[in-house]
Chain A
Amino acid sequence: MANNTFGSKRLVVGAHYGFRDWLAQRVTGALMALFTLVLLAQLLMPGQIGYDKWAGIFAAQWMKVLTFTVIISLAYHAWVGMRDIWMDYVKPVGLRLLAHLFTIVWLVGCAGWAVQVLWRL
């Protein structure tokens, strides 16, 4: 390992930052779990579930901030998860790079769209 950090034989695959991502995966996961419970609690409040109630939940500023945090958390969480999947099953470096690139574009695009929907309410 130590001899593979430079030159043509150096390791070009892998994440190299295990603990940080392990922790990030749990922190972002816990945040999304909290969001899920907060959303469910508001949905299960008495009253008909229709447009007014649904849109009203996301109209509150604190809910917007929480949802925004969850969107960013989700993008990072999904990046770590999908990268792990690609690293386990896609061995050719070029193909893996392409998969990583696609994942980043996909997630950044989705996060942008979600934030736009959220903040024009």
Chain B
Amino acid sequence: MAEATTKQRPGTMRLTDALQYRLPPAGVVSILHRISGAILFFLLPLTIWLFDTSVTSEFSFERFRAAFVSGIGFVPGWFIKLLVLGILWSYFTHFIAGVRHLWMDVTHSVSKEQGRISAHITLGLSLVLTLLSGLKLFGVY
């Protein structure tokens, strides 16, 4: 009895314990899926503002284009650019990670190796798409 109580038990895993482990790529995608969803949720008003100004009239469209240069109100243009890059990255990450989920649900084709590869594709492709769409939106090409 005494031996059993003195024996060290691992106890509940805390965040500090969890951080000792290196997450596999699929785990990174899993937490980024959640984080990107939360970012999209909190930046929803900005997304709708961009939709509103870009689509309402030619006059407001100019205001939309100018937001990336001269900002919105007291918020500087570079910060708007940063936020929009955040929206784009979150959207692509969430989109690809979601399609990855649907694909695994439908095909039941799940293995460690496939999970690893598709996770890498998710992380890489979302970065590439963010860069391409961001540069296009900011008028670089």
Residues of A within 8 A of B (CB): 26, 29-30, 32-33, 36, 49-51, 54-55, 58, 78, 81-82, 85, 103, 106-107, 110, 113-114, 117, 120-121
Are A81 and B37 in contact (CB-based, < 8 A)?
A: yes
A85–B98 Cα gap in the complex (Å)?
16
- Chain B 87-102 near chain A by CB (<8 Å), digits 1 or 0: 0000000010011011
Interchain nearest-CB distance for B112 vs A (Å): 23
Complex contact B102–A110 (CB within 8 A) = no
Q: Which A residues are in CB contact (< 8 Å) with B55?
A: 54-55, 58, 117, 121
Please indicate the chain A residues that have their CB under 8 angstroms from the CB of B37 in the complex: 78, 81-82, 85
Given contact pairs A82-B37, A117-B48, enumerate 11 new A-B contacts (beta carbons under 8 Å).
A32-B95, A33-B98, A36-B95, A49-B136, A51-B54, A55-B61, A58-B55, A82-B38, A103-B41, A110-B44, A110-B48
Q: Does B138 contact A (CB under 8 A)?
A: no
**A114 with B51: CB separation less than 8 A:** yes
Q: How many A-B residue pairs have CB under 8 A?
A: 58
Residues of A within 8 A of B83 (CB): none
The A contact surface, by secondary structure, is helix
Across the interface, B54 reaches (CB within 8 A) one of A32, A54, A81, namely: A54
Q: Could you tell me which residues of chain B, from 1 to 50, have a CB within 8 Å of some CB in chain A?
A: 34, 37-38, 40-41, 44-45, 48
B38 touches A85 (CB 8 A): yes
Total count of chain B residues near the partner, CB < 8 A: 22
Give the CA-CA distance A114 to B49 in the complex, in Å. Answer: 9
| Nearest-Cβ distance from residue A55 to partner chain B, whole angstroms | 5
Output the least CB separation between A115 and chain B (Å): 10
Interface residue from B52, B58, B95 paired with A33 (Cβ < 8 Å): B95
Tell whether A110 pairs with B45 under 8 Å between CB atoms, given A26-B105, A29-B102, A51-B61: yes
With both beta carbons as reference points, the residue of chain B lying nearest to A50 in the complex is identified as B61
Contact B48 A113 (CB under 8 A): yes
What are the residues of chain B within 8 A of A85 when measuring CB–CB?
Answer: 34, 37-38
Report how far A26 CA is from B54 CA in the complex, Å.
29
* Residue in chain B with minimal CB distance to A115: B48
Q: List the B residue with the shortest CB-CB distance to A49.
A: B136
Contacts of B61 in A (CB 8 A): 50-51, 54-55
Kindly supply a per-residue 1/0 record for chain B positions 101-113, scoring 1 wherever the CB is within 8 Å of any chain A CB and 0 otherwise: 1100100000000
For B52, the chain A residues whose CB sits under 8 A away are 113, 117
